[in-house]
Structure 1
């Protein structure tokens, strides 16, 4: 197992590189498993992830934010290499979906008992991602959050980013194409997720459902945008007026422009339009704690 930790993560900075190497090594090493811990940043971080299979590592655990985890997922997509995650970023979407505790000790204990499971990935214009991809308001939110990364307080930073995103985002005409049929919408935001975030607290009830969900918010004025942003914050947006929802294996988003800012798993890129999304069922071999598997079984039964 290779464990790759972002040297800029707050937990790494608090404990120091040497101490966190020993902590992780002690927690994960077993009689049948050798563990190598690397603390790096930037290109060195990405290189340590990408070269792991070549260096005979069966499992790679990434302790970083969603963007770095998304990069690792793209590297290991459709391979036998197992990906594990440690929640050392801001959102840690994938880590929380599988029930990893927020504290390092708890997350390491859960990983020690975790087992591989095949989960879905999505692709946008051929590039894999594990969670969400958004345009319009959502991409402006991601840009604003990046600019306010050092803002003290998660809620304060989120509210400041919300204000900037509201000022910067505007109406755009798009068409959502599903199974050859197009639906035109005057929107200010569109979000594509790998399986639906249909469980409380912005969680997915399953990671292997084999479907994308597309959520498009109509442009109904500034007050409606502000209300939708608040609904997203308190997780009460689903089913509200002006929210269009689609589920499919393939979705194409057309717009009257050649390129757009797209926020995918927290990283913002300029993408060519149209945006072509697809589901890649079981594309990633992910380390999942046993209690998460049990929770997901109950959640699936409740949804069904």
Structure 2
């Protein structure tokens, strides 16, 4: 995704930070005092608001916006960041990111440092970049949205995280565990721009993050760089075939046509025989009723990014 960029000028107003201290590994990541200290070193006051799991995120953001802050910062993993992005989409308020998750694909795709001091400096001294965000039935996703097997993997992952703690190894093990159980594939019809096809598949990924695809060693990054979405479709090849494909993906050796099929389009519509499905957006699960429409947002997100990004971003 591309867009014009301008240097951000933060004044003395308070920067509001929404902190999800449940993101990332146990007992890891900056706490409220760490965040306040980091911004004080940069000459900025900051208001840290803890994430309340018992309150709608939209309501918390609405309260923050009533104070008319210049910048609202999401301190958490990709799921938390995606939720804050949903509330700020189309608004002039700057959007800052303090990565605190396991993978942090969105922050890494923008060249935002993973350490607190480096990320805080981007918020204080970086530039704004208007980003078009992907949507699934009107709900944002920054990296990917999924149907089929993957939301079941996320459900297993949370159980494993509760026992072993958050880590990439635990995330990979949860995927293999669910693959051994092998739920029934979906029967779906996909409309990609003007073309339509019906097929069976255990899993669909729709991505809007070229960086994540490259990290996975898979094709499709060029689709995103050209302003489209990339849809990866797992072939219906049985449990053994899916296990081989999963191992290939984990090792960065997945091959198109063998381990996945690729479609590129500005928008997708997916219709399934089962209309109500468990879906995932940036690692957060919920149930949605189809048809499932994937598209880029019309509005933009005024995101704070480095003034001199290193390498390819998004």
TM-score, normalization: structure 1?
0.85
Q: Which runs of 5+ in 2 are unaligned?
A: 1-14
Corresponding position of 2:172: 159
Query: Structure 2 vs 1, CA of residues 128 and 198 (structure 1 numbering), >3 Å: closer, same or farther?
Result: closer
* Counterpart for residue 21 of structure 2: 7
2:47 counterpart residue number: 36
Tell whether 2:234 aligns with 1:217.
yes
Aligned-partner SS, 1:160:
helix
Question: How many Å apart are 1:253 and its aligned residue?
Answer: 0.9
Q: 1:185 aligns with which of 181, 199, 207?
A: 199
Q: Show CA shifts across 1:91-127 (max 9, x none).
A: 2221111122222233223433321101121111122
Q: Is contact 2:109-2:212 (8 Å) kept?
A: no
Is 1:245 aligned to 2:262, yes or no?
yes
* Runs of 5+ consecutive residues of structure 1 not aligned to the other structure: none
Q: 1:190 to 1:12 in 2, by over 3 A?
A: closer
Q: Deviations over 1:64-84 (max 9, x none)?
A: 121111111110111112211
**CA–CA distance in structure 2, aligned partners of residues 104 and 248 of structure 1:** 36
Partner of 2:311: 295
Secondary structure, in 3 states, of the residue corresponding to 2:92?
Answer: coil
Aligned to 2:123: 111
Q: Secondary structure at the match of 1:183?
A: strand
Contact 2:112 2:122 in 1 (8 A): yes
Describe the shift of the 1:103–1:176 C-alpha distance in structure 2 as closer, same or farther (beyond 3 A): same
Asked if structure 2 preserves the Cα contact closer than 8 Å seen for 1:4 and 1:62, the reply is yes
Structure 1 CA distance for aligned equivalents of residues 224 and 87 of structure 2: 19
Match of 2:138 among 115, 126, 129: 126
Q: Deviations over 1:256-297 (max 9, x none)?
A: 1121111111101111122111112562111111232x523x
Distance in 1 between residues matched to 2:271 and 2:24, nearest whole Å: 39
Q: CA-atom RMSD, angstroms?
A: 2.8
Aligned equivalent of 2:188:
174
Which residue of 2 is the match for residue 94 of structure 1?
Answer: 106
How many equivalent pairs are there?
294
Structure-1 separation of matches of 2:259 and 2:273: 21
TM-score by length of 2: 0.82
Give yes or no for contact 1:121–1:129 (8 Å, CA) kept in 2: yes
Of 6, 17, 37, the match for 1:23: 37
Residues of 2 paired with 1:154 and 1:14: CA distance?
11
Does residue 232 of the first structure (1) align with residue 243 of the second (2)?
A: no
Distance in 2, matches of 1:158 and 1:50, equals 33
